[in-house]
Amino acid sequence: MDWRADIRAIGSLMKREMGILAGDRMYWFMMLVAPVFCFLFFMDLLDEGLPSRLPVAVVDRDNTTTSRSLVRSLNSFAQVEVAMRTADFREAREALQKGEVYGIFYIPPHFRRDASTGEEPTLSFYTNDTYFLAASLLYKDMRLLGSLASGSVRQTLLLAKGEGGPTLTAKLMPIALDTHPLGNPWLSYSIYLANFLLPAFLCMFVMLTTAYSFIQELKRRTAGGWLSEGNGSVIVALTGKYLAQGLVFVVMGTLCLSLLYGYGRFPMNSGFFPMFLAMVLMVAASQGFALFVSGLVSRGRIVLSACALWCVLSFSICGFTYPVRSMPWLAEWASNLFLMRHYFLIYIDQALNGIGMAYSWQNYAALLVFALLPLMVLRRLRKNLEGNRYLP
């Protein structure tokens, strides 16, 4: 085997592929327009980090200076905006059902009197938990406000008894909890979303483009020419074609990384190289997976369906919002079959936590395995190409 001829063949195949890509609107859409749209869409949507100024309703049945100051401090939280003040709970409840507000803060009648005479009034807050993120953010703030209210009454009582001084904080709160959210001290939600969503979209487009371009060779009856240009070797033919596509996608991947860590300034504690390596491997793994499926099944639509299903499922099974550990065991196990899961774990280790690359070698290796999967179905791929079998 003359390896120089093979390299030359790969070169000419890459040129051929670039011609195909440039001449078809569909590829422009899949490789440039759609990824860029998705990148910009989510960068714009998520640029605030945490949603701020979530509307809530306040039902103030007490209407004293105390209750009004409570409402004022509620309004001063960054994530809360008192969008509605009313004395009628029913009105607030209807606004909650209509989705105009995400929560209701209820101050009972005679709140000030009861609090100062030891009647233990109850502050209630209601959150609409069908909006999960909004509700949990509000829950946090309203709960904090509840304990602040309690604390301020106690502080007044203690001061009145003459118990001020350095032990006052200890009297109010004997045990304080300090939290250290490592790697994400801002508790920013978009860190999770953006860093997974952008690469996941890229993965989806790589897979679909790979499968689609393979089917197109069969459908347009050009598979024979492709194979012969690759010196009759499937490996050379595949390498030439998909190296060219891979290069384009790696450029898109670099754009994605620079949007995330350059423009978006998301934390990258590992330096550029580990994430770039992960991105390159992710592109290769997506191509590998799509070719593997193309070899397993010969019907074009089943290949595309399988790739599409895999990509869409990876948005939930990779655990970027809901931890994989909390899934049923079968889903927990199956998550390893999704290559974005491995990319996500690398991201957590490298960019977010900045620990050594040795800790994520298994995930890098897993991506490499995905990239090499087509080697298992080379014979089937060759048969499909030689027979030029297009099955719809």
> Which x/- pattern over 272-311 shows residues binding other proteins (rule: CB under 8 A)?
----------------------------xx--xx-xx--x
Give the number of C-alpha atoms closer than 13 A to the C-alpha of residue 87, restricted to the C-beta side.
Answer: 6
Nearer to other proteins, 278 or 304 (CB): 304
Q: Is 90 in the site for other proteins (CB under 8 A)?
A: no
Structure tokens at 125: 């807050």
Contact 54, 80 (CB under 8 A): yes
Query: Of 149-157, 247-255, 277-285, 288-296, which part binds other proteins (CB under 8 A)?
Result: 149-157
Smallest separation, CB 52 to other proteins (Å):
7
Roughly what angle, to the nearest 10 degrees, separates helices 132-160 and 65-76?
140
Which of 251, 321, 333, 387 binds other proteins (CB under 8 A)? It is 321
Which 8-state DSSP code applies to residue 85? E
Q: Which stretch binds other proteins (CB under 8 A): 12-20, 171-179, 221-229, 288-296?
A: 171-179
Q: Considering the complex, state which of residue 51 and residue 64 has its C-beta at the smaller distance from other proteins.
A: 51
Residue matched to tokens 């953006």 = 194
Judged by beta carbon, residue 263 or residue 322, the one nearer other proteins is 322
- The structure tokens 């994400």 sit at 184
Of 353, 357, 368, 378, the one binding other proteins by CB under 8 A: 353
Q: Provide the Cα torsion 106, 110, 112, 113; round to 10°.
A: -160
Does 69 engage in binding with other proteins (CB under 8 A)? no
CB-count exposure of residue 127 (10 Å: 0-12, 13-18, 19+):
buried
Q: CA dist 367 to 115, 149, 262, 283, 372, Å? A: 61, 53, 25, 9, 9
Interface with other proteins includes 339 (CB under 8 A)?
no
Sole window of 4-12, 136-144, 271-279, 371-379 interacting with other proteins (rule: CB under 8 A): 136-144
DSSP-based three-state secondary structure for 222: coil
Q: Smallest distance from the beta carbon of 269 to other proteins, in angstroms?
A: 12
Query: 106 to 125, contacts with other proteins by CB under 8 A?
Result: 115, 118, 120-125
Q: Is 75 in the site for other proteins (CB under 8 A)?
A: no
The residues in 217-276 that bind other proteins, with binding defined as CB under 8 A, are none
Contact 290, 303 (CB under 8 A): yes
- Based on the shown chain and the rule CB under 8 A, indicate whether residue 331 belongs to the binding site for other proteins: yes
CA nearest neighbour of 213 among 1, 17, 3, 64: 17
Please report whether residue 162 would count as binding other proteins according to CB under 8 A: no
Give the tokens for residue 273: 């190289």
For residue 18, state whether it binds other proteins (rule: CB under 8 A). no
* Minimum distance from residue 6 beta carbon to other proteins (Å): 31
186 CB neighbour count, 10 Å cutoff: 11
- Contact between 83 and 55 (Cβ < 8 Å): yes
In the set 19, 78, 88, 94, which binds other proteins (CB under 8 A)?
94
CA distance 245 to 210: 8
Query: Smallest distance, Å, CB 109 to other proteins?
Result: 14
